Structure 1
Amino acid sequence: MSGIGESHGCISVINGIVNGKAAVLGINLLTEASYTETGTEPYVKVIGSEDTDDNLVRICVRRTLEKIGADPGVGYHVTIKSQIPPSRGLKSSSSVCNAVIKAVLDAHSFEMDIMDIIRLGVECAKEAKVTVTGSFDDACGCELGGLIFTENYSTTLIRREPAEDYDVILCIPEYTKERVPRERYEAVTGRMEEIQKIAETNYLKAITLNGRLIAEVTGTDNSIAEKALEAGALAAGISGTGPAI
């Protein structure tokens, strides 16, 4: 019994950590997952990142099997292949959740509404403690693509629309992000609310302003984004909590 699933990445327009209101833009970086029920023990392989903690994948498999009424104790092999580097702000965890859940469902020939898949992935990410807010915005962006606006606390999809086909250049530093106390994000709520208003009509401008604000909160160097703007970029800024730009 085998199945496959895939999902993509996305970048931040509005960071949802500040007050739960978020916006993202889908990009075409791909995550692929294959799932096969075999043996008596779980086995997870992440190609290219063999030292990655596989707890998130195991949680996704278990909770999906429980959701569809299948045996969560079955032996299986999962292989993950992703173009999205982890812990850089490009939504790798949400993409993995979506892909793994879809692979398990595919193996069992089980149909599930796409929003239910997304919300299940959010719960898996929360259990694995790889997200502050549940990253509902990221999960929607990775799975639905386009321009997405969400309310993360209530897992509500507020708005979805196609986005223009832009070329996206990613700067991905070798180092991974460090956690920042949530209070530092909450302290800039008023300023973020102003950026959220701008995003409703000009999401490219919001990407830049959001990036500057998050760089300030996290202490991340934003000079590459500023140089990109000087060189003619339509928008540039930190994605997620960084460090990718």
Structure 2
Amino acid sequence: MEASNLKERLEESRILTEVRVFAPATVANMICGYDILGFAVNEPGDEVFMKRVATPGVRITEITGDEGRLSYDTDKNTVSACVLSLLEKLGIDKEFGVEITLHKQMPIGSGLGSSAASTVAGLFAINTLLGNPLTKQELLPFCVEGERLACGTGHVDNVAPALFGGITLIRSADTFDVIKLPVPKDLHVAVVFPKVDVPTRDARQLIKEKVYLKDAVTQWGNIAGLIAGLYESDYSLLARSMNDVLIEPTRAILIPEFYEMKELALSLGALSFGISGSGPAVVAVTNDAAIAKVIAAAIAAHLAAAEIESFQYVSAVNNEGPKVIHASYETI
């Protein structure tokens, strides 16, 4: 028997019973692209361990790293609720069950897409257990429902980059029209999370319902320039374009030392600096990993002097999205 045929026979005689998946944190908005741009980073992120069991149902058996803040209720936890929704949609929710362990490895309420990372990890895990019947594009609506459960609105700008990896443009949230954009090879970011509380709902309530046309035109130009800069790997154009005149002036009020951090980052060579998602995490965009490390350390020191604890992450853009880090099979 040929080796390839033997391999196929062996694979057909196994069933995937356990899987551990990592999904990355994300920087929504990419400074000037409110609700339409975002990118994934290599760290932090969340892990989901999922086990197939005979008894139907979806159960959360353990949650770590959440300081007791997340629910074990299947209908209230974004991971279990979305997994159950997918199984019901496929009509196989009564055929078997799954047990889920969620390992939170990133801060909740940080502006780094915490709920999105967990949801994407869970849905990627169940899809893997099932043999990948759905494409990532088909998984996206289930991910968005997780965001709706977590914060009341089905945002796409965190789940899209977490699911697809890289930099994503949300052309239409209503139709889940998502486009992956090019990632310049030297693009690196310094992400700093000051340990202060800025709930997403509160941050959204501060946003003005109406804006001046001249400000809108400026923002449109910046978004267009940002996208052009990505395609051309033009860091000078990126630096000129990544400027938010609509959302940052309001949300910055909620983040202590924001403008001091921004001035410090730009003085140390950042191309741009802004708020990650709804904050309080902030991001400095650079074209050099070493500069990103210097900026992260400098901002951390500045916050420490102001008696504000922080976490720092330096990363290139994560082009992969979720990934399987362990899998177990059973012979049938």
TM-score by length of 1: 0.83
Tell me which residue corresponds to 2:48. Answer: 33
Evaluate the alpha carbon distance shift between residue 90 and residue 5 of structure 1 in structure 2; reply closer, same or farther with a 3 A threshold.
same
C-alpha root-mean-square deviation of aligned residues, in Å? 2.7
- 2:27 is the alignment partner of 1:8: no
Evaluate the alpha carbon distance shift between residue 166 and residue 110 of structure 1 in structure 2; reply closer, same or farther with a 3 A threshold.
closer
- Cα-to-partner distance string for 1:78-129 (whole Å, 9 max, x where unaligned): 1223443221111121121111011112222242111111221102321x14
| 5+ residue gaps, structure 2 | 1-16, 72-76, 228-237, 283-332
Tell me which residue corresponds to 1:89. Answer: 111
Q: Residues of 2 paired with 1:99 and 1:159: CA distance?
A: 19
Residues 38 and 168 of structure 2 are in contact (CA less than 8 Å); yes or no, is this contact kept in structure 1? Answer: yes
For residue 176 of structure 1, the aligned residue among 197, 206, 219 is 197
Question: How many Å apart are 1:44 and its aligned residue?
Answer: 4.1
Between Structure 1 and Structure 2, the one with more strand by share is 2
- Cα-to-partner distance string for 1:54-98 (whole Å, 9 max, x where unaligned): 311221221121122222696542122344322111112112111
Identity score, percent: 22
For residue 225 of structure 1, the aligned residue among 262, 287, 299 is 262
Tell me which residue corresponds to 1:216. Answer: 249
For residue 142 of structure 1, the aligned residue among 142, 162, 177 is 162
Tell me which residue corresponds to 2:14. Answer: none
Residues 63 and 124 of structure 1 are in contact (CA less than 8 Å); yes or no, is this contact kept in structure 2? Answer: no
Tell me which residue corresponds to 2:316. Answer: none
Tell me which residue corresponds to 1:69. Answer: 91
Tell me which residue corresponds to 2:211. Answer: 188
Secondary structure of 1:170's aligned partner: strand
Evaluate the alpha carbon distance shift between residue 189 and residue 104 of structure 1 in structure 2; reply closer, same or farther with a 3 A threshold.
farther
Residues 214 and 238 of structure 1 are in contact (CA less than 8 Å); yes or no, is this contact kept in structure 2? Answer: no
Q: How many residues align?
A: 237
Question: How many Å apart are 1:188 and its aligned residue?
Answer: 3.5
Rg larger in 1 or in 2? 2
Evaluate the alpha carbon distance shift between residue 116 and residue 185 of structure 1 in structure 2; reply closer, same or farther with a 3 A threshold.
farther
Q: Residues of 2 paired with 1:207 and 1:90: CA distance?
A: 22
Tell me which residue corresponds to 1:19. Answer: none
- The aligned amino acid for 1:45 is E
Evaluate the alpha carbon distance shift between residue 47 and residue 59 of structure 1 in structure 2; reply closer, same or farther with a 3 A threshold.
same
Q: Residues of 2 paired with 1:26 and 1:206: CA distance?
A: 22
Q: Residues of 2 paired with 1:64 and 1:148: CA distance?
A: 24
Secondary structure of 2:69's aligned partner: coil
Structure 1 stretch 147-156 or stretch 191-200: which is displaced more? 191-200
Evaluate the alpha carbon distance shift between residue 207 and residue 101 of structure 1 in structure 2; reply closer, same or farther with a 3 A threshold.
farther
Q: Residues of 2 paired with 1:26 and 1:171: CA distance?
A: 15
Tell me which residue corresponds to 1:202. Answer: 226
| 5+ residue gaps, structure 1 | 17-21
